[in-house]
Structure 1
Amino acid sequence: MSNSDLHYLDAGALARLIRAREISPVEITSAILDRIARLDPSLHSYALVMRDQAMAQAKAAEQQLLADGPSGPLLGVPIAVKDLYWVAGSPTAAGTTIHRDFVPTEDATAVRRLREAGAIVLGKLQLTEGAFATHHPAIASPVNPWHADHWAGASSSGSGVATAAGLCYGSLGTDTGGSIRFPSAANGLTGIKPTWGRVSRHGVFELGASLDHAGPMARSAADAALLLGIIAGHDPLDPTSLPEARLSLPDAAHDLRGLRIGIDYAWNTEGTDDVIVQALDRAVNTLKELGAEIREVSFPDVRAVVDEWQVNCGAEVAVAHADTFPRLASEYGPALTRLIEIGRETSAMRYQEVLLNRAAFRGKVNKLMSEIDLLIAPVQPFAAPTHDQLSALAQDPDLNARLIQFTAPFNSTGHPSMALPCGFTSAGLPIGFQFVAPHGGEALLCRAGIAFQRVTNWHCAHPSL
């Protein structure tokens, strides 16, 4: 197999080729770094390419193979991480200019676990400022490889672009209001927002502490499951991490017999573009063919929790930036400034009201999820918007609430969800949908996603570059 055929392989498939010594870690790492050098000047997905460190890791992996030593499941596989994650000795700017000189002395726990599994860290991926809505005005935004005029998908945009463009074999993102699922949908990827606390946030720059979720993005559900299984688990350095030592993922199922999948047709379709509704209908038909039982449900009203997400996040981001805002306010971009100011102006009584409403909503969702195994919903009510449309969204609270109506509720409740591709628009833009599971239900997400992708090929399509 030539190097030109390798960049869109699944991470799991590449790992098997490396273990079989059909390709060397040095060879594949060099090839992907060359591809980054050729394509990323126009895609802007990387904030930092760590060529020397990556090649040193590749040579070490090759020596490990030659010595027939124990090898992890990702030995020699090149990945990349969102520039919120600490990587020891490398700058972590978090999409800002104020942190561009911050160099951590240790890896984030998720990064360390990827390294322990043998992965090669190619570099740090670009994101919106502080992981909020838009990129800092001084930083070039990642470009959607499917169509340069369209959104690349919120804060984990660099992770989405690099993974879709074959500039890494998987990536780490974060999701506070949809930022793993939005770029997964926009770039034709599969991404998992785990249960809150499933993946340690130690060494991950904070946006909204109780809303932030760290998770993987990949080109298939099988790869996303592989990455999640490696990074998940209790971490004594993160007191909010769940107590389970490791996430147990079952063998992939070929069908979905016995699985109860709920759908709220009214919620899914109200204000949702026809192309999204039609793609979701096709996905539901496929799930039926796989043996799943589709149950009509009534999802709790999301309007209050969506409207209050910004207040909730604003208060938390104001705390996260207390050391630098307002002291360095002039160096912040407009969107993050506005969110911090919302938080700083929120009274304690209003914040408590938001938390009580959020708890009540979580209880209603828990009750519904106790009656089904999975919920199916769109990721967003329209395909990736143009940059002009996105500018309007950033300025209009009602439009922004519409954008996050299917994603932010599950940041507020902490339920795990998986976004995966299910079609294309007439303009060739990917369309995604999501499964949502009960707390701790990542194995159900992976089972359903892998089974769906066994009989569909949306995830096998790649942009023309």
Structure 2
Amino acid sequence: MWRTTAGARTMVVPSAFLSVRSLGEGYRSGRFTPVDVCAQAMRRLDAWEPRLNAFIDPMRDEVMRQAREATDQLARGEDRGPLHGIPVAIKDIIDIAGVATSYATKSVPPRLATRDADCVRRLRQAGAILFGKTNLLEFAYGIAHPAFGQTNNPCDPSRTAGGSSGGSAAAVAAGIVPLALGTDTGGSVRAPAAYCRIVGLKPSFGLLSLDGVYPLSPSLDHLGVLARNAEDAALALAVLARSPLAATAPARPRLGIVRNQWNHPAVTTEIRAAIAGAVARLREAGVEIVEIDLAAPEAMAAALLDILLPEAARIHAETFRQAEVGYAPGTAAQIRAGMSLPALRYLVAKEEQARWTAELDGIFTHGDALIAPTVPFVAPDMDPALSAEGDDEILSLTHANLTGAPSISLPCRSDGTLPVGLQFTGRPGADGALLALMRQLEPLL
């Protein structure tokens, strides 16, 4: 933090990268206020945009109004908890009452939301500051619409921040906000987190309400959190969840490294070396690590797409019939692929999803979490396109979406210049235990 004098008042300007806990401590000690933090965030926004292209609508006036309100409330002793006065960016398929939702498409005009999504309502109740609507791939479906463009990576703006929640990831990684909401259907929170050197959490399927969040694939959709560390992600999840999450980490964790994802030929030498280093540090700290196999990652990726494509096509069928020309060509191609996918393939994929979910539950009788590369390569220049044959980017991501297990990407040390993510997947429904374990292991990575 640094200090500046304005008239007779000495103002402490907080660092752009403070944790949620540190921000809260600064508010309650009087060192700075939510107005100070949001003013700093606006300066960061101005410094990065439009280079990042992270925000569709930063909601500037509304952000500062909320900041003044939170500052006044805290000054009066009205304390709503750890997210009070904390800026949180919102992916622009999530409704905020009185704000237009664009879905990053030209197939429909922006729609003024008449009520908050459930997650937004919970953030408001906790005193959080809703800090703008972030850019995304069109309808969160794997293609950047040319009218909105790709979100670029704060670690290297010549590369993508990832999709589909890239705007939310970039906003956190650039020091604009400490928290952001995204959605994750096939890795859309965890992949951007890995590319941008931040934390990306996909909770258990059904733990967080998707009311007010535009759907993509109801069998696979999850709300997710982008954060600077595992503790911040846990604080956000505690506000958003509809059930208690209290848990403790095991005294001697046992992790299963997913051998057929770790050894997959798509995993680059750089990723393999970084994760080998992290695994070695975990072992040195007394973490037991065993090798396990899940179903072939190509089979899981193909099954995920055989579910996602037709479910997305069903959701978009009427809009696509009326306004096909408004979709990006790549998104339109994916919708057509979903419309033509044989029903038998969808049914087989749903059967495999049920079987793999049952098998995963058995695996957790022998360990606390599974580990694998989040993505097999560092951030590319452009977002990889989905394909009906599978996609290397999602090879390590799909098991968590198919089974509904909680999964989190944490940054790990690397000799390269670009970030590497290590993914941990826990037992379905055991989100609190997974996050407690992450807080214990995060310093070792």
TM-score interval (norm. to shorter): over 0.9
Counterpart check, 1:249 vs 2:258: no
Q: Which amino acid aligns with 2:67?
A: A
Counterpart check, 1:265 vs 2:253: no
| Structure 1 residue aligned with 2:317 | 322
Deviations 1:172-228 (A, max 9, x none): 011111110100000000111000001110110111111111011101111111111
Counterpart check, 1:50 vs 2:44: no
Aligned match of 1:21 in 30, 35, 43? 30
Q: Which amino acid aligns with 2:311?
A: E
Map 1:200-219 to 2 at 5 A: 200-219=209-228
1:429: how far off? 0.6
Q: Distance in 1 between matches of 2:444 and 2:310?
A: 44
Map 1:388-407 to 2 at 5 A: 390=383, 393-394=384-385, 398=389, 400-407=390-397
| Structure 1 residue aligned with 2:96 | 87
Relative to 1, partners in 2 of residues 1:397 and 1:386: Cα closer, same or farther, differing over 3 Å?
Answer: farther
Relative to 1, partners in 2 of residues 1:365 and 1:250: Cα closer, same or farther, differing over 3 Å?
Answer: closer
Aligned match of 2:198 in 189, 194, 211? 189
Map 1:296-445 to 2 at 5 A: 296-387=291-382, 390=383, 393-394=384-385, 398=389, 400-424=390-414, 426=416, 428-445=417-434
Q: Which amino acid aligns with 2:421?
A: G
**Structure 2 contact 20–82 (Cα < 8 Å) conserved:** no
1:395: how far off? 7.2
**Alignment partner of 1:294: what SS?**
strand
**Structure 2 contact 405–427 (Cα < 8 Å) conserved:** yes
| Structure 1 residue aligned with 2:435 | 446
Counterpart check, 1:34 vs 2:43: yes
Q: Distance in 2 between matches of 1:347 and 1:266?
A: 29
**Structure 1 contact 299–368 (Cα < 8 Å) conserved:** no
Aligned match of 1:121 in 105, 130, 142? 130
| Structure 2 residue aligned with 1:240 | none
Deviations 1:245-295 (A, max 9, x none): x232346x6xx6322111133431221112111111121122223332212
Relative to 1, partners in 2 of residues 1:21 and 1:231: Cα closer, same or farther, differing over 3 Å?
Answer: same
Relative to 1, partners in 2 of residues 1:5 and 1:19: Cα closer, same or farther, differing over 3 Å?
Answer: closer
Map 1:61-210 to 2 at 5 A: 61-210=70-219
1:396: how far off? 5.8
Structure 1 unmatched runs, 5+? 234-245, 457-465
Counterpart check, 1:285 vs 2:280: yes
Deviations 1:314-358 (A, max 9, x none): 111112213301211011112221221122112333321221122
**Structure 1 contact 92–99 (Cα < 8 Å) conserved:** no
Q: TM-score normalized by structure 1?
A: 0.89
Q: TM-score normalized by structure 2?
A: 0.93
**Structure 1 contact 257–292 (Cα < 8 Å) conserved:** no
Q: CA RMSD in A?
A: 1.8
**Alignment partner of 1:327: what SS?**
helix
**Alignment partner of 1:163: what SS?**
helix
**Structure 1 contact 286–452 (Cα < 8 Å) conserved:** no
Q: Percent identity?
A: 34
**Alignment partner of 1:121: what SS?**
strand
Aligned match of 1:59 in 68, 79, 84? 68
Relative to 1, partners in 2 of residues 1:337 and 1:35: Cα closer, same or farther, differing over 3 Å?
Answer: same
1:139: how far off? 1.1
**Structure 1 contact 262–375 (Cα < 8 Å) conserved:** yes
**Alignment partner of 2:159: what SS?**
coil
**Alignment partner of 2:402: what SS?**
helix
Bigger mean CA offset, 35-44 vs 447-456: 447-456
Q: Judging by fraction of residues, say which structure has more strand.
A: 2
**Structure 1 contact 72–116 (Cα < 8 Å) conserved:** no
Q: Distance in 2 between matches of 1:310 and 1:296?
A: 27
Q: Distance in 1 between matches of 2:34 and 2:386?
A: 46
Relative to 1, partners in 2 of residues 1:8 and 1:395: Cα closer, same or farther, differing over 3 Å?
Answer: closer
Q: Distance in 2 between matches of 1:83 and 1:421?
A: 25
Q: Distance in 2 between matches of 1:419 and 1:290?
A: 20
**Structure 2 contact 13–37 (Cα < 8 Å) conserved:** no
**Structure 2 contact 371–422 (Cα < 8 Å) conserved:** yes
Relative to 1, partners in 2 of residues 1:425 and 1:126: Cα closer, same or farther, differing over 3 Å?
Answer: farther
